[in-house]
Each structure stands twice: as structure tokens, then as C-alpha cells.
Chain A
Amino acid sequence: MVHIKRLQEDGADILAVIGEIDASSSIELDLAIAKSVGEGSTRILVDCSALEYISSAGLGVFMSYIEEFQDKKIKMVLFGMKEKVANTFQILGLADLLHISLNKQDAKKMLNELSV
């Protein structure tokens, strides 16, 4: 249901999330982020351009890392969301708590400008 591809670009880990994240598949997202962090990444980009759907289980995964990332000075930016997916983040006001950008170029810029 969800497939996550990991690649590296300009010193950042890019996690491309493809498909749908719900209560049965959110663990995949959690494992992918944990693996990236576990291997020492401090700059993470989440490519959401092929993310078709996300439920609260997936939102909860992103939220669960907010404090840890602040403590460990890890920066994460999400980018490329379709309107319907971005709307899900907006309903809960999470767009203000996470770093979300329109496209990869802006996301990289945001990653460089973020202070943690």
C-alpha cells in the first residue's frame, strides 16, 4: 500500500513516499524515518509528490518526531503534497508545526535556512 524509496542528494536524505498511508501502513513510514535517523542523517526531505492519501496514523508518525528532532538538531522538510493531502495537514493545524514546502527546490532552500 505504501512504498518508501530512500535516496541521497546534496547531503540530505530524501524519503519518497509512494501510495497511501493509513493505520495498517504507517509503521512503514515510522521505520523509514527511524532508519534514516539511526544512520545519522540530520537533513531529511520527505517527497510527498506520489503520496495519494494520509490518515491520522501517518500524521501521528510525523508529529512523534518533532521533539526528538529538536533535541538532536535534525531538520526535516516535507514537499510536493497534492492539494487533498495538504488539506489533511491543514485541518489539524499541523502545517504550522511541521516544515512543509511546495517543491524540492524550495524544500532544500528551507532546509538550509532552518535553524534548530
Chain B
Amino acid sequence: MSYQYSIGCSLENLKGMRDFVRKSLRSHVASDVVLNEIILALDEMCSNLMIHAHHCNPDHRLEMSIDVPQKGKVVFEIMDDGEMFDINRFQEPKIDNLIHEKRKGGLGIRLVKSIMDEVLYVKRNGRNVCRLTKQVA
């Protein structure tokens, strides 16, 4: 089973994306807590891309696909054009530093890495593809 969604790079569109993920995975993920974690990780990935790679230009688009290749495993892909924003290149900030520096950001990458089992980046047909894998069984 696979599902696809296209989203313009405006933060206002994040809610629609979350609703899409929730509907698509409702029958595949039994736990409400795990489903919320997945939605959270994808929200963080999309908002990071929108802000840092696309400067919230609503004409730029992200394409998301959700694939359930086998029971208990879900694979997400987020495709975009432009400069690749690879979260694996970023050092996760220490929580103490975040408090001290009063930065209202930097937590998202830590969340994604905690929630997803794997975050990989590849190029496909000249586009950036971020592939996230999560075991849900």
C-alpha cells in the first residue's frame, strides 16, 4: 500500500500534511502514541525543509510518499528540489545549551533521530530524496 501527498512550502500547510499521514496510517499503526510520534517526525522534517531549504516559499513544493512494504514497517520519502538539507550533518544541540541560549529551535532534529529508525538521503532524477524508516510492530 502506498500514499502520496504534495505540499507547498508554507508553514500553514503543515496541518494538512499531518491529517494526511494520520488518515493514511490509521489502519497500519495501532498505537495512538506511535502514530503521533511518526506525525511529529514528519512535521519536523517538512518544517525544517520549508524554513531552511525553501525559505517558506509556497510556490516550492515537497512531495511526500508513504509506503507500507510489509506489516510492521513503514517507509516515508520526502522529495524536493534545491539545496539538500541533510539533518545528519547537524550536531544535535545539548538540551542545556538550548535553555541557556533561549533558542526556540534545534529540538526538531533530535526528535526525528529519536523517533525514526533510519534517515537516509539520496539523489533521484536530480531531486533530493530523504528516506525515513520506522518499525511499528
Residues of B within 8 A of A (CB): 11-12, 14-15, 18, 32-33, 35-37, 39-40, 43-44, 47, 50-51, 95, 98-100, 102-108, 110-111, 114-115
Contacts and interface: CB of A to CB of B under 8 A. Distances in A.
Interface residues of A, number: 29
A66 B106 CA distance: 16
A-side interface mostly? helix
A87 B18 CA distance: 17
A22 B39 CA distance: 12
B-side interface mostly? helix
A57 B12 contact: no
26 contacts: A22-B14, A22-B15, A22-B43, A23-B11, A23-B50, A23-B51, A24-B12, A53-B18, A56-B44, A56-B108, A57-B105, A59-B107, A60-B106, A61-B104, A66-B99, A67-B99, A83-B32, A84-B32, A84-B35, A84-B36, A87-B37, A88-B37, A91-B37, A92-B107, A92-B114, A97-B95
CB-based closest 5 A-B pairs? A24-B11, A60-B104, A56-B107, A84-B36, A56-B108
